[in-house]
Amino acid sequence: MAVPPEFIEDLRQRIPLSDVIGKRVKLIRKGRRFTGLCPFHSEKTPSFSVVDDDGFYHCFGCGVHGDAISFLRETDGLDFMEAVERLADMAGIPVPHSTPQDPAKAQQRKAALDILETTTRFFQDALGRDDGQDAARYIRNRGLAAETISTFRLGYAPRGGLRAALAARGFSDADMLAAGVIRKSDRDGSLFDYFRDRVMFPIENQQGRVIAFGARALGDAQPKYLNSGEGPTFSKKTVLYGLVQAREGLRRKLPLVVAEGYMDVIAIQRSGTAAAVAPLGTALTEEQIALLWKLHDEPILCFDGDAAGQRAQMRALERILPLLTPGKSARLAVMPEGKDPDDVLRETGNDGFLKLLAVARSLVDSLWDALVGQHDLRQPESRARFWQEIRGQVRLIGNNQVRSAYGDEIESRIAAMRSAGRQQGGAAPVRRLPVRRPRAGMINRHRAVLALCLAHPQLISGIYEQLLSMESGDTGLESLKKAAIDAVIGDPDLDVAALTYHLQGLDLIEQVAALSGDEMRARLGCDPASLSSEDASRQLEELLNLVSGKSGVFSTTVQTPK
């Protein structure tokens, strides 16, 4: 009985080769590869190399070479199906034995891959021709250098000529149709090139083979973006654009950003601030989320700052929650209103984009803020409805430990809300609804503001009214903020050491420590104490605008002592 090639490829993606070989060979990581003593011949100096990204091993001593299946066959004497079953057992998935492999389908898939590779080269060549100048100009105007264009294999689909070029290489119309590069007219049955007068973005699988295309119209043609249809090589729910190019950044331990568009992915990767991938015109699927967590424990969803982008983020949040497991989560970063990551990078540079990533909100904060903004918390019935809804979301989490931890966190927040309500005569604190943009990442932004203030207490007197008007919803944070303001107003000459000593005397030592640790330095991109007063003032200005929901032109002035 045959096993579909897609299943074999899925097995290789699910189980790192180093995990399979590491059970027999002591491996040592060296950059992107592992080395060890070859199990196939006697040696004293390691010459056996394993590369997870490629899924292959190679011995430079005896020349043996293969993948996980061949390794199990050679070391354990298994036949092909036994090796596949062993790997499937390790991955915890059943082997699909029911249908034999269809030789015709296997041949069609191979032909489709060959056609897609040839088509990619055709589009790349067309970008340099006279009829590709508009596409080349568009790409240049987006600030892409030749190296980036080559890395992502960008090209141009001319108005015609692809079908003839493929036919000249011996490909049949039937195979071209299956590959999705030509279509049949519903009107008269004639065949035509599917992609015409568009900038082309090849979509690759994890092995770097082109399996589909994304295309952007140059003029007013609709739809603006067009993807290949499902076919023998392509199922969009299982693919992330830019994954192959993201690997280098992931090896360098950069954050993993999930953006919306092709150009956003390319811009982020080119900036060197993060690795980046994107789903293909759909909300994140379970398969894509699982793939993201293989790449990074906490990817950052970074969708556009418009209504559609925020809806996409919330759909992703709802899809992620049931799948959470210990150590696997995500954060949500919100772009300024009407901006995408490419816009932010071009307008504010790498530093501006990194600051937005640094204050990306956690899933629990995102869930809380999303639901609390839909209710009038002044009304007891509305509060009860809010509590019911957020508890219902927590119950959707499949993992018992994560569900329990989320339940504890949510119940703690509800208890704090009740306590605040009693202190205010029965009325729960009123949360203002967002007007122009979501109040994203608020708790982290409040923490970042206070961390800068504690490192530069001389700035507090110029912004204390704004600080007092900011409500983080965190009791400990609010206590620390008010204590710091009172101390500085009482003694404007307090330096960092004196202020810290004063706050520790008020039993706020844990809150102070939480704002001066490695996590906060990572979120701010630096040690706040290392900043000059001018730089700290500038960062405070930006954060205060984010907290107040303003974007674009700064309207908050942080007074810096002369």
- Tell me the mean pLDDT in the region 475-496: 81
Question: Tokens standing for 384?
Answer: 């009860």
CATH of 103-234, one of 3.30.1490.190, 2.60.40.10, 1.10.760.10, 3.90.980.10: 3.90.980.10
Highest averaged pLDDT of the listed ranges 25-39, 420-434, 542-556: 25-39
d(CA 407, CA 418): 16
CATH fold for domain 5-91: DNA Primase; Chain A (3.90.580)
- Give me the pLDDT at residue 554, please: 32
- Give me the pLDDT at residue 171, please: 96
pLDDT digits (tens, 9 = 90+) for 26-60: 999 988 889 999 988 888 889 999 998 888 899 98
For the chain, domain boundaries: 5-91, 103-234, 252-438, 442-547
CA count, 13 A, side-chain hemisphere, 200: 30
Q: What angle do CA 59, 65, 67 make, to 5 degrees?
A: 120
- Tell me the mean pLDDT in the region 544-550: 73
Report in angstroms the alpha-carbon separations of 368 from 289, 391, 549: 21, 10, 18
- Give me the pLDDT at residue 129, please: 95
For residues 400 and 2, which has the higher predicted lDDT (pLDDT)? 400
Confidence of residue 102 (pLDDT cuts 50, 70, 90): low
Sequence-ordered list of residues with C-beta below 8 angstroms from that of 82, at least 6 positions apart, any chain: 72
Confidence of residue 495 (pLDDT cuts 50, 70, 90): confident
- Give me the pLDDT at residue 262, please: 94
pLDDT at 440 over 60: no
Q: Write down the mean pLDDT value for the chain.
A: 85
Q: Let me know if 237 is exposed, middle or buried by CB neighbors in 10 A (0-12, 13-18, 19+).
A: middle
- Tell me the mean pLDDT in the region 81-97: 82
pLDDT digits (tens, 9 = 90+) for 273-304: 999 999 987 678 999 999 899 889 999 999 87
d(CA 18, CA 456): 48
- Give me the pLDDT at residue 485, please: 86
For residues 397 and 535, which has the higher predicted lDDT (pLDDT)? 397
b/e burial code for range 49-75 (CB count within 10 A of at least 16 → b): bbebbbbbbbbebeebebbbbebbbeb
Query: What is the C-alpha end-to-end distance of the chain, expressed in Å?
Result: 81
pLDDT at 353 over 80: yes
pLDDT at 308 over 80: no
Q: Are 136 and 128 in contact (CB under 8 A)?
A: yes
pLDDT at 377 over 90: no
The rounded radius of gyration (Å) of the Cα atoms in the chain is: 28
Q: Are 278 and 241 in contact (CB under 8 A)?
A: yes
pLDDT at 555 over 80: no
- Give me the pLDDT at residue 560, please: 38
CATH fold for domain 252-438: Dna Topoisomerase Vi A Subunit; Chain: A, domain 2 (3.40.1360)
Q: What residue ranges in 291-387 does DSSP mark as E strands?
A: 300-303, 331-334, 361-362
The residue with tokens 């994890």 is: 206
- Tell me the mean pLDDT in the region 417-440: 51
- Give me the pLDDT at residue 1, please: 52
Least confident range of 184-188, 236-240, 294-298, 422-426: 422-426
d(CA 368, CA 440): 11
- Give me the pLDDT at residue 429, please: 52
Highest averaged pLDDT of the listed ranges 168-182, 246-260, 501-515, 537-551: 168-182
- Give me the pLDDT at residue 74, please: 81
Written as one string, the DSSP assignment of 22-82 is: TTTS--EEETTEEEE--TTS--SS--EEEETTTTEEEETTT--EE-HHHHHHHHH---HHH
